[in-house]
Chains A and B, each alone.
Chain A
Amino acid sequence: MDYSFALQQLVYGLTVGCLYGLLAIGYSMVYGVLRLINFAHGDLLMVSAYIGFFGIVIFHLPWPVSFAGAIALTALLGILIDRGAYKPIRKSPRINALITAIGVSFLLENVALVTIGGRPKSFPTPGFVSGAIVVGDVSIPTLSVWVFVVTVVLLTLCMAVVKKTRIGIAMRALSRDMETVMLMGVDKDRVISFTFALGSALAAAGGIMWCMKYPAVEPFMGVIPGLKAFVAAVLGGIGSISGAAMGGMILGLAEVFIVAVQPEWSGYRDAVAFFLMIVILLTRPTGIMGERLPD
């Protein structure tokens, strides 16, 4: 594998990795706060894609408006999912919440299927992401630059919120001790809603960019990215934001490089994620950045 070929694969790997990472953060944050694997999280990517699609194609809204709308509405949906599906069973055993999460996922997919239909819609790619920057033998798609910049900005913002703001501090406190957070006069449901909103907004941003890369919008488009993002979150250490981002990158790079080195393995591309997950669960169950939790 020569140098520029490797660099080219690096560009591809980082691009997919950013998208996995954005999606993984929501999984990780919700798990951190509620110890819940929100299996409906991947479907938010699909919801955001449809909202973006309708905004642009049906309502002829400008790109930025459609994107902002998709992110805001998906964040709202994240809050509603928590309030409607998870909050009523907060005190039940964890397995109930897990089953509910799978139910919410099926619900979103099937509502999309029934109301919009299963035929993939082609997502219009805006002009500003087409083209590529060519450096020597390496071609960097403009979209990859956008994906990378947007991801870095969102990740930085998200980490700053969690590190510096009051609600971010409350999120971290809540992840360890819900009862004592309530004794501080904090309405825990507000903090939980905020967590869902933040994670869902990142998933929505990832969803829009996903569609620019793979421009087919359909009801089940969130399933595989969702599973991969879940693996990325476990890989990085579920509960950790930087871990989720890093897990996404590692997974994206691993997928791209394995296929690049062994093109005949390209059929196994999706299996890479699950192989990595098995390895990490066997060797380091808390993930790369994960800290050991008391339970």
Chain B
Amino acid sequence: MLQIEDLQVSYGGIRALKGVSLEVGAKEIVTLLGSNGAGKSTTVRVISGLVIAQAGNIRFEGKNIKNLPPHKIQRHGLVHIPEGRKVFANLTIKENLLMGAYYTRAKSELSRLFDRVYDTFPILSSRSQQLAGTLSGGEQQMLAIGRALMSKPRLLIMDEPSLGLAPMVVADVFRIVEKIRDEGVTIFLIEQNANAALRIANYAFLLENGVISLEGPGYELLTNPKVKQAYLGGVSE
């Protein structure tokens, strides 16, 4: 569904991606793991057009989308939930969701989308007139996911959705990620929480210093000694 070949990005003189290649298969959860500064966010920001790539190829459903403006890429069905959630704090929850469905004009379609999101996240429904800035971190993450679902994604990129959330909430988030996948949306999940991500991932890539150093099915990486050592806190089960 998404193919990336030899992607290279530098910020000024600093090379953040030194030739990243990876592939995300349709209707799967594919995860990209790596420590702070490895280049995970850079990778997905290039995919969604926020950062310009110096070299490489990005194809989404067969079409070349490299260096298109972000709003055009989004309208292909590739929706990116940025790191840190980035809900619009000065808008109400309902307005935030509406921003996700900016180009959906038909009333019936719009109310179907709202119903689906409110079904998945009842908390958003009961507080729809409240400013998003008043939500807790976990609720803001739910809103960010809900807002992305309003865009009818075929591929959903999630950049560290578990960042800064309490363990209970993290479990909720991962359950929702699986549910969305089961509804037919492909997920490209960026995580530092390797343990939880690998448990739900069909396939995983490990990014280190701007290159993919390891890849394989989720369960395989879960038992890989190197991953265990560096990313799973050395705990074996």
User: Are B98 and A176 interface neighbours, CB within 8 A?
Assistant: no
Chain A neighbourhood of B82, CB < 8 A = 179-180, 183
CB of A295, distance to nearest CB on chain B (Å): 14
**Closest residue of chain A to B150, judged by CB?**
A184
Any chain B CB within 8 A of the CB of A158?
no
B60 within 8 Å of A (CB atoms): no
Q: Give chain B residues whose Cβ lies under 8 Å from the Cβ of A186.
A: 71, 99, 102
| Interchain CA distance A172-B99 in the complex, whole Å | 11
A175 to chain B: which residues have CB within 8 Å? 90
B49-80 interface bits toward A, Cβ cutoff 8 Å, 1 = contact, 0 = none: 11000000000000000000111001100011
Across the interface, which residues of A come within 8 angstroms of B151, CB to CB?
184-185
Q: How far is the CA of A112 from the CA of B225 in the complex (A)?
A: 75
Determine if A108 is an interface residue (Cβ-Cβ < 8 Å): no
Q: Give A131 Cβ to nearest chain B Cβ, in Å.
A: 45
CB-CB under 8 A from B98, the residues of chain A are 166, 169
Q: In the complex, what residues of A have CB within 8 A of residue B49's CB? A: 182
**Which chain B residues (36-59) contact chain A, with CB distance < 8 Å?**
48-50
Q: In the complex, are the beta carbons of B88 and A183 less than 8 A apart? A: no
| B102/A180 in contact, CB under 8 A | no
B98 to chain A, nearest CB (A): 6
Q: Are B88 and A177 in contact (CB under 8 A)?
A: yes
- A170 contacts the other chain (CB 8 A): yes
Interface: A83 (CB within 8 A): no
Q: Nearest chain B CB to A87's CB is how many angstroms away?
A: 13
- B86 and A185 form a contact (CB under 8 A): no
Interface size on B (CB < 8 Å)? 24
**A-contacting residues, B77-102, CB 8 Å:** 79-80, 82, 86, 88-91, 95, 98-100, 102
A175 and B90 alpha carbons, distance in the complex (Å): 9
**Distance between Cα atoms of A169 and B100 in the complex (Å):** 11
**Which residues of chain A are near B48, meaning CB under 8 Å?**
183
Which chain B residues border A185 with CB–CB below 8 Å? 71, 74-75, 102-103, 151
Question: Roughly how many angstroms separate A180 CA and B70 CA in the complex, as a whole number?
Answer: 10
CA distance A182 to B88 in the complex (A): 13
- Asked if residues B71 and A176 are in contact (CB atoms below 8 Å), the reply is no
Known contacts being A169-B95, A169-B99, A170-B102, is A176 close to B70, with CB within 8 Å? no
A102 to chain B, nearest CB (A): 30
Chain A residue with the shortest CB-CB distance to B49: A182
Complex alpha-carbon distance, A245 and B82, angstroms: 36
Residue in B95, B100, B151 whose Cβ sees the most chain A Cβ within 10 Å: B95
Rounded to whole angstroms, the CA-CA distance of A173 and B151 in the bound complex is 16
Does any Cβ of B come within 8 Å of A269's Cβ? no
Q: Which residues of the partner chain B approach A177 to less than 8 Å between Cβ atoms?
A: 86, 88
In the complex, the answer to whether B74 meets A184 with C-beta atoms within 8 Å is yes
Q: Please, how many angstroms separate the alpha-carbon atoms of A169 and B98 in the complex?
A: 9
Beyond A179-B50, A182-B71, whether A172 also contacts B102 by CB under 8 A is: no
Among A189-248, those with CB < 8 Å from B are none
Shortest beta-carbon distance, B159 to chain A, in Å? Answer: 11
CA of A177 to CA of B89, assembled, Å? 10
State A184–B144 Cα separation when bound (angstroms): 11
**Residues A180 and B91 in contact, CB atoms below 8 Å apart:** no
**Chain B residues positioned under 8 Å from A169 (CB to CB):** 91, 95, 98-99
Residues of B within 8 A of A179 (CB): 50, 70, 82, 86
29 A-B residue pairings within 8 Å (CB atoms): A166-B98, A169-B91, A169-B98, A170-B99, A172-B95, A173-B88, A173-B91, A173-B99, A175-B90, A176-B90, A177-B88, A179-B70, A180-B86, A182-B49, A182-B50, A182-B69, A182-B74, A183-B48, A183-B50, A183-B74, A183-B80, A183-B82, A183-B86, A184-B151, A185-B74, A186-B71, A186-B102, A187-B71, A188-B71
Query: A-side interface residues toward B, CB under 8 Å?
Result: 166, 169-170, 172-173, 175-177, 179-188
Shortest 6 CB-CB distances between A and B: which pairs? A185-B74, A182-B70, A180-B86, A173-B88, A184-B99, A187-B71
Given contacts A166-B102, A169-B98, A172-B91, 16 further A-B contacts (CB under 8 A): A169-B99, A170-B99, A170-B102, A172-B88, A173-B88, A173-B90, A175-B90, A176-B90, A177-B88, A182-B70, A183-B80, A183-B82, A183-B86, A184-B74, A185-B74, A187-B71
